[in-house]
């Protein structure tokens, strides 16, 4: 037992969490940007294929397959864009100093929760209350 040396006081916890979170959030933002770019390319490819298919409609039974593919890409793109917006909002909260604070009750969100869900805006209790 050496005593002392515990380092950061309670006041520094949110700051330290935010530093870790920013790295995770930036990384996730880059992943999502790459994914969105790929989905854009996929969608452009499907659009071209579909244009061909429409031109040759009577001979090409794949028209419906292409529109299914289109819908799949669109759904994935919407989900990706909405997660990208959440990441952006979390980074904005880091910037204005409200990151890691529950948006409902105003208490600190536990660091373990932020590690698992860096975009969390509420503590576990408030999230559960909202969902229920
Ligand atoms: Zn709360």
- Note the pLDDT tens digit of each residue in 71-127: 999 999 999 999 999 999 999 999 988 999 999 999 999 988 998 899 999 999 999
Q: Is residue 80 domain-resident?
A: yes
Residue 19: give the domain boundaries: 13-97
Q: Is residue 82 domain-resident?
A: yes
Residue 103 Cα to ligand 1 midpoint, Å, equals 7
CB atoms within 10 A of CB 48: 10
- At 132 the pLDDT is 66
Q: Is residue 112 domain-resident?
A: no
Report pTM. 0.73
Residue 96 Cα to ligand 1 midpoint, Å, equals 19
Instruction: Domain count for the chain, please give it.
Output: 1
Q: Is residue 31 domain-resident?
A: yes
Whole-angstrom Cα Rg for the chain: 22
Residue 131 Cα to ligand 1 midpoint, Å, equals 13
Of 69, 68, 84, 90, nearest in space to 36 by CA: 84
Q: Is residue 59 domain-resident?
A: yes
Angstrom distance (rounded) from CA 103 to CA 121: 6
Q: Is residue 115 domain-resident?
A: no
| Cβ-contact 8, 16 below 8 angstroms | yes
Sign of CA dihedral 44, 48, 50, 54: positive
pLDDT in tens, 1-44: 554 444 434 445 567 777 888 999 999 999 999 999 999 999 99
Residue 59 Cα to ligand 1 midpoint, Å, equals 59
Q: Is residue 86 domain-resident?
A: yes
Residue 61 in 3-state DSSP?
A: coil
Average pLDDT, the chain: 83
Q: Is residue 78 domain-resident?
A: yes
């Amino acid at each position: 037992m050496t005593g002392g040396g515990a380092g950061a006081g309670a006041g520094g916890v949110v700051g330290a969490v935010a530093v870790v979170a920013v790295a995770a959030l930036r990384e996730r933002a880059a992943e999502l940007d790459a994914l969105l770019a790929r989905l854009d390319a996929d969608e452009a490819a499907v659009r071209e294929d579909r244009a061909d298919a429409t031109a040759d409609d009577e001979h090409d039974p794949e028209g419906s397959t292409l529109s299914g593919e289109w819908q799949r890409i669109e759904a994935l793109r919407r989900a990706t864009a909405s997660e990208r917006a959440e990441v952006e909002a979390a980074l904005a909260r880091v910037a204005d100093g409200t990151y890691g604070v529950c948006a409902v009750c105003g208490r600190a969100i536990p660091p373990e929760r932020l590690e698992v869900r860096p975009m969390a805006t509420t503590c576990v209790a408030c999230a559960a209350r909202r969902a229920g």
